[in-house]
A and B are shown apart, each in its own frame.
Chain A
Amino acid sequence: MSSSDLAVSIRGVGKAYTIRHDHIASTTLAEAIVRRVRNPFARAAREEFWALRGVSFDIRRGEVLGLIGGNGAGKSTLLKILSRITEMTEGEVDLYGRVGSLLEVGTGFNQELTGRENVFLNGAILGMRRAEIRQQFDAIVAFSGVDRFLDTPVKHYSSGMYVRLAFAVAAHLRSEILIVDEVLAVGDQDFQRKCLGKMRDVADGGRTVILVSHNMTAISSLCSSAVVLRSGRLAYAGDVGGAVKQYLTREATEMVGDLGSRRDRSGSGEVRAVSLAVRTAGGDLTRAVAPGEPFEIVVSYHARAALKDVAISIDIDLPDGTRLATLHSDFHGERFQMAAGSGAFSCAIAGLPLRPDTYVLNIALGGPHALYDFVERAMSFEMAPADVYGTGRLPQRNQGPLLADYRWRLTEPATILS
């Protein structure tokens, strides 16, 4: 490709964070000084953690590039480097145009200011000149649909209005390269469709979009190419179909049970989920259960200390991230007292009326005041094919995941009217 087609060229980019060890880290100035005085030549024990390393790829002008990866794969780090919020540790990036980044909708919106004032403030924060904003002001207001409330402080806005106005400002950024993170997941259906349309317009206008999302449907329908990151390295770069497939299948094989080595987790870590397994009613480990068949999910954990009132929750998601169910112990009013050390939870499920497909589990452990551990895409499991309706026919993927227990019959008109 000739360099005149290029929008972004990323070459060998890496970012290292230094993790200082607990007993060494100083959070107050006094500690830091005392340590220096006592031990002038000692170097703090540091561990380098590469959030991103050796990543190279090019983005062409007018392309909508999807950036895919699990939590901790390095997506956010790459976005922050491209938008200059943080600096890379090694490598080089050429930007052939102004970069506008949208890592969050409504950055810098101020509750006390009116809608009108916030448009100007937010526009300036995103890098627009005042003249540019004034020129586009009417278009921004029309897109947001909040024209009647322009002179009301945004603290009185509904969350929907707030988000619409914020996105409207961002959507009118005139930068040649636009970086968008997860903002599609906002607003109602109508507004989401409007946002998607706007993104397509942006790309059709010859500008370049880098889109990060967990939503594979959005990625597939919007992007012209995609890049998959895994543990800070480039795992795939090419067409969208291949990328999504790569992401989903690799993700699934990685998810077999063992969570001990997963770094892409959040929470304070007092207790950690160590492994996850699915067991049949008979107690055998399995990767697939039939619709409606009872089974059990077993969560092994390791607790650093004894903990009181621990709640546990498992989410069941479609691979694209759509939430189907949350199995939270709180819904049953159950909290657990836990001794230090290793142990296991078990969740008995009477049966799931889901069509044969792959489903994804997230696991969360929390206490009264803190989230202890949260692993997204902790494991995947299969609903095995089963002839639920006795006809050999089942709904397709686009007909919804739920296998409802239903029956049709013809009735007399009179029955309805009476």
Chain B
Amino acid sequence: MAVEPLRTLRPTTGWVALDLRELAQFQDLLVEFARRDVKLRYRQTLLGVAWVLLQPLVAAGVLTFAFGVVAGLKPQGTSSFLFTYAGLLVWNVFSSTLNKASMSMVGNTYLVSKVYFPRLILPLSGTLAILLDFGISLTVLLVGLAGLGIWPGWPLLLLPIWILLVLCLALGAGLIAAALTVQYRDIQHILPILIPFLLYASPVAYEVAHIPARFQSAFYLINPLAALVEGFRWSTLARPMPPLPMVAWSATFAVIVFLCGAAVFRRTERKFADVI
């Protein structure tokens, strides 16, 4: 009787598809890695989980002081602090995801060279842990809004879309960085320079309205993150909606970056264990 093998291993060449079925088989590992990340981060700290709340609050305070008080760039119709805090939440999702994803292979060399699992599990699990932090900070924001009597209305329903697009952008870039870092460690040195620069180049502590009107379109085009940050504030702080064409541009760009990132990652994945 001929029995079909469960799996046949063959050399692969060129581009390969995202194997979603296999990713689903390893979903428990995804959760387990995320659990590890969350548990480890605040073990042996005095304040523990309180850090998740404190970090964005303190950072928002500092940025508010620098931009709102010192530079006098106050947003129209919203408190400077609330405005910056909301921007920071989006920014943190972006920068942490990019950072984590880019280090996901090199930081787990011992796993990558010793055991098989879909390599995408590592960057994805990092994202899960980041989303938990985001959820906590978001709750603080929503409670604050309720206390102040601010109600964004139906745009609140679009909130997950903004975060999803930010994740696409960050993961896509992070996956490319992760694949490159396996071969060239330079990326580890480039990102710490690039990420703070991006923070100031994004409307986190200032609004796009502060930029001279004739440069605004260019600003949105050059920095696809801008429309997403403004969009998130529209969905939470009841601020004006960013221009629709720019939102469409950002969304398209984010999805393309994600697809490219996943493709590059999958293509180079098979060499990780040999090179790393």
Contacts and interface: CB of A to CB of B under 8 A. Distances in A.
Nearest to A104: B114
B184 A28 contact: yes
B116 interface: yes
A281 B161 CA distance: 84
Interface in B1-49: 1-3, 5-12, 26, 28-29, 31-33, 35-36, 39-40, 43-44
Contacts, number: 117
B53 interface: no
B125 to A, nearest CB: 10
Give the one of B26, B111, B187, B274 with max A CB within 10 A: B274
Given A95-B9, A96-B3, A28 B115 contact: no
Interface in A106-121: 107-108, 110, 112-113, 117, 120-121
Interface of A: 2-4, 6, 9, 17, 27-30, 32, 80-98, 101, 103-104, 107-108, 110, 112-113, 117, 120-121, 124-130
B6 A95 contact: yes
B117 interface: yes
Given A29-B184, A87-B270, A108 B115 contact: yes
Contacts of B7: 94-95
B28 A2 contact: no
A4 B273 contact: no
The 6 closest A-B pairs by CB, nearest first: A94-B5, A124-B32, A84-B116, A29-B184, A93-B9, A29-B186
B249 interface: no
Contacts of A91: 11
Given A3-B3, A85-B113, A113-B36, A80 B8 contact: no
Nearest to A77: B274
Nearest to B271: A87
A129 B201 CA distance: 44
Contact of A97 (B2, B6, B112): B6
A113 B184 contact: no
Nearest to A83: B116
A30 B12 CA distance: 29
Contacts of B151: none
Contact of A126 (B44, B115, B185): B115
B223 to A, nearest CB: 24
Contacts of B9: 81-82, 84, 87-88, 92-95
Contacts of B11: 87-91
A130 B28 contact: yes
Contacts of B28: 124, 128-130
B180 interface: yes
Interface in B179-222: 180, 184-187
Interface of B: 1-3, 5-12, 26, 28-29, 31-33, 35-36, 39-40, 43-44, 110-117, 180, 184-187, 270-271, 273-274
B15 to A, nearest CB: 15
Contacts of A108: 110-111, 115
A87 B115 contact: no
A140 to B, nearest CB: 15
A110 B273 contact: no
A369 to B, nearest CB: 22
Nearest to B7: A95
A120 B6 contact: no
Contacts of B44: 112
A107 B114 contact: yes
20 contacts: A3-B3, A4-B2, A29-B186, A85-B114, A87-B9, A87-B12, A94-B9, A97-B6, A101-B115, A107-B111, A108-B111, A117-B35, A117-B36, A121-B32, A121-B33, A124-B33, A127-B26, A128-B28, A130-B28, A130-B32
Contacts of A113: 36, 39-40
Contacts of B187: 29
B270 A107 contact: no
Give the one of B36, B111, B112 with max A CB within 10 A: B36
A69 B262 CA distance: 39
Give the one of A87, A95, A120, A126 with max B CB within 10 A: A87
B186 A125 contact: no
A9 B116 contact: no
Given A86-B274, A110-B40, A27 B184 contact: yes
A85 B2 contact: no
A166 to B, nearest CB: 12
Contacts of A87: 9, 11-12, 270-271
Contacts of A84: 9, 116
Given A29-B186, A85-B112, 6 more contacts: A3-B2, A28-B185, A87-B270, A107-B114, A112-B44, A130-B28
A124 B29 contact: yes
B39 to A, nearest CB: 7
A125 B117 contact: yes
B266 to A, nearest CB: 12
B115 A83 contact: yes
A9 B3 CA distance: 12
A208 to B, nearest CB: 12
Contacts of B43: 112
B114 A103 contact: yes
Contact of A32 (B1, B6, B40, B184): B184
A110 B5 contact: no
Contacts of A107: 110-111, 114-115
Nearest to B114: A107
A80 B48 CA distance: 40
Given A87-B11, A87-B12, A110 B180 contact: no
A17 B180 contact: no
A112 B39 CA distance: 9
